Structure 1
Amino acid sequence: MSAWIEMISDEDADADLRAALDLARTPHGTVDNVMRVHSLRPNTMRGHVVLYRAALHDAANTLPTWLQETISSYVSLLNDCGYSLANHWKNARHLIGDDARADAIWAALEARAPERVFAGAELALMRYAEKLTLEPGRMVAADVQALKAAGLDDGAILEANQIVGYFNYVNRCLNGLGVSTAGDIVGYYAENEAE
């Protein structure tokens, strides 16, 4: 466990915190630092878990999972959040399933040039994610109209908006409290398939 504030271990948790920790457990039975950093305030941990799962892991989402993870990674890259980037790019890379394609996507995102690898709706989503992350006060109706013109419906636009909003929230929480991946298992998709 690593952060600039205290994080309470499972062994030292009271009943209320234990219940929040149980809600936040990964498929491996662990609690990642991104959630454990809330251990002094279990209610924010519960809220964070629910928000995360609703934004990124809801069965009703229609955006492909690899694209959700790539949007998450791009926002985290723009925010210089190593924690989220390590986890979500590992997931995106695995879900892309093609190392050459993943390398090309990574290089384009790192250069802030998504047009090198994306077109249509995917490119529109990356541009939307970048502007909403870096210039939220400059968003205009035309930004959403561009997504619609690229073929996205309002539900998919809402999904993208929530993913971008969530990662801007969590990146600031993690960076602001010095949370690291020390002790975490980074990424889950590849590991879960082996189980």
Structure 2
Amino acid sequence: MAWIKTVPFEAATGKLKQLYARVTGPDNNVDNIMMMHSLRPHTMEAHMAVYKYILHHSANTIPKWFLEAIGVWVSQTNGCGYCVDHHFAGMKRLLADDPRSDALRAAIGAGDIDAMPLDAREKTAMHYAQKLAETPAGMVEADVQALRAAGWEDGEILEINQVTAYFCYANRTVLGLGCSTDGDVIGLSPNNNADPDDWNHR
């Protein structure tokens, strides 16, 4: 499951046990990406807070399915199959359009933004996310201006930026520690957007 030691749900005590209880899914399943933090529970707490506030917060105005789609695209760009699998499943559930979801997954796998079943505004966001993931030092003001010209408001541009940045962090957590999907329940996520402190994955 990982290249470092992790503490399973049944062996957790103290702060770790409390955090596991907050992030569990069915049958007390804890996603492996969270279990990666088990030797330093404070980093799990930080990770979940960032994740919930950036991707699953009621103050976001971009539809959550598209934020998830950005995450899948960034994860594909970074070669993180773990996050692609998890977040595609979540995106597909949210979009509730299997043919469109599958076409989007195929285009993401091919690295082809033009083939993505998205509108021009959404494709511009994908171009921004790809550049930020691949060549962050190459970002220029014109990249933000392109988003604005495509119809994104500045608050939405911030959402796109933060989701891209979060997934780069998550991808590197997974890839740097050898995290696999073994034993995971794919595609679960916190669904209570109204409460940023509710991390439950049921």
Is residue 84–residue 171 contact of structure 1 (8 Å, CA) maintained in 2?
A: yes
Is residue 20–residue 43 contact of structure 1 (8 Å, CA) maintained in 2?
A: no
Structure 1 segment 91-130 matched on structure 2, within 5 A? 91-116=90-115, 117-130=117-130
RMSD in angstroms over aligned alpha carbons?
A: 1.7
CA gap 1:138/1:8 in 2 versus in 1, 3 angstroms: same
Q: TM-score, normalised by structure 2?
A: 0.87
Gaps of 5+ in 1: 190-194
Q: Which amino acid aligns with 2:151?
A: G
Percent identity between the aligned chains?
44
Q: Which amino acid aligns with 1:139?
A: M
Residues 67-110 of structure 1: per-residue CA shift (max 9 Å, x gap): 01110100111111111111101112222222222222122222
Residues 21-64 of structure 1: per-residue CA shift (max 9 Å, x gap): 22333476432111111000010010001011011101111111
Q: How many residues align?
A: 189
Q: TM-score, normalised by structure 1?
A: 0.90
1:165: how far off? 0.4
Residue of structure 1 equivalent to 2:21: 22
> In 1, distance between residues paired with 2:147 and 2:51?
23
> In 1, distance between residues paired with 2:15 and 2:94?
36
12-21 vs 137-146, which moves further: 12-21
Gaps of 5+ in 2: 190-201
Q: Which amino acid aligns with 2:119?
A: A
CA gap 1:138/1:32 in 2 versus in 1, 3 angstroms: same
Residues 141-171 of structure 1: per-residue CA shift (max 9 Å, x gap): 0001111111111111111111100100010
List structure 1 segments (4+ residues) > 6 angstroms apart after TM superposition.
Answer: none
Q: Does 2:52 match 1:53?
A: yes
Q: Which amino acid aligns with 1:108?
A: A
SS at match of 2:180: coil
SS at match of 2:170: helix
